[in-house]
Amino acid sequence: MTSPPLRTRPGLGARYWRLFAASTVSNLGDGVFAVALPLITVGLTRDPTTVAGVAAAQRLPWLLFALPAGALVDRGDRRRIMVAADMARGAIVAALAGAVAADVHTVAWLYVTGFVLGMAETLFDNASQTILPRLVDPDQLPRANGNLFATETITNSFVGPPLGGFLVAAAASLPLWLDGGSYLVAAALVASLPGRYGVHSGAAARPGRGDPRPHLGREIAEGVRWLWGHRLLRSLALLLGLMNLWLTAGFAVLVLFATERLGLDEVGFGLLLTATAVGSVVGGLVAGRLA
């Protein structure tokens, strides 16, 4: 009697692993930058309002531009949008790295850098969330998303912050060079994806030339009405919005508390951010058992 053959899971494909590699590299840079920017800011000023303003500049585009960004992504090629966003992020961070290395950076420069990064992030994140279903089969989406979430957590929260602290301690510009380079490498990996990833490049038929394109404002309003009409998603959006408001408010001045009250150095601040990530993971595991 012969035993039945073992079932093997189908692979996720070369295109997916290119996206995975791009996500790993760029998230490592994000984790490094999350430590570097606050430390560079407090090296210029200890004013709490100014320090918080730099953090707010990076999040402000999500308030102002998130809805238009989603509508723009729905109209364009996701791959091209992701490449353009990463190129822009790599260029602005590299410019800041050069300024820090030459000791000519200012608080205003940090404001501009944070805002441009936030603008590019809204486009990139919207595009990356919608390109994945084009790369893997529907039954592989949970596995593919799980891999991406795992590498984001590890690189962005566990590896990046302590590495950023060590690099800032060595030279303030080093983590910025690493972050800028990570965006450029990620852009090259995403650009190497074959095919087109526009809204009409898949199974949907391309509209005729005479078909009018929906107005951008109407598309945004339609999306908002749909969200507001969905009771569960509306409640979830409001709850997450309030939660993120309070979390980011505390994080904006955490660097001052850590360096002035706790007496932490650059490496200690990076390890503090890693400790908060560990707490989040443990809390998630405990919540799952309590649910």
Q: What residue spans define the domains of the chain?
A: 14-197+253-290
Of 110, 112, 52, 107, the closest CA to residue 256 belongs to: 52
pTM, 2 dp: 0.82
The fold for domain 14-197+253-290 equals Growth Hormone; Chain: A; (1.20.1250)
- Stronger pLDDT, 90 or 287, i.e. the higher one: 90
Contact assessment for residue 149 and residue 27, using Cβ atoms and an 8 Å cutoff: no
Q: How many Å apart are CA 23 and CA 14, to the nearest integer?
A: 14
Average pLDDT, the chain: 84
Cα 107 to Cα 46, 116, 143, 146, 257: the distances in Å are 11, 14, 42, 38, 19
| Percent above pLDDT 90 for the chain | 40
Residue 289: the pLDDT is 66
Alpha helix locations (H) across 136-173?
Answer: 141-153, 160-170
pLDDT of 84-115, one tens digit each? 999 999 999 999 999 999 999 999 999 999 99
Contact assessment for residue 28 and residue 159, using Cβ atoms and an 8 Å cutoff: yes
Give yes or no for residue 222 having a pLDDT over 90: no
pLDDT of 234-268, one tens digit each? 888 888 888 877 777 777 888 999 998 889 899 99
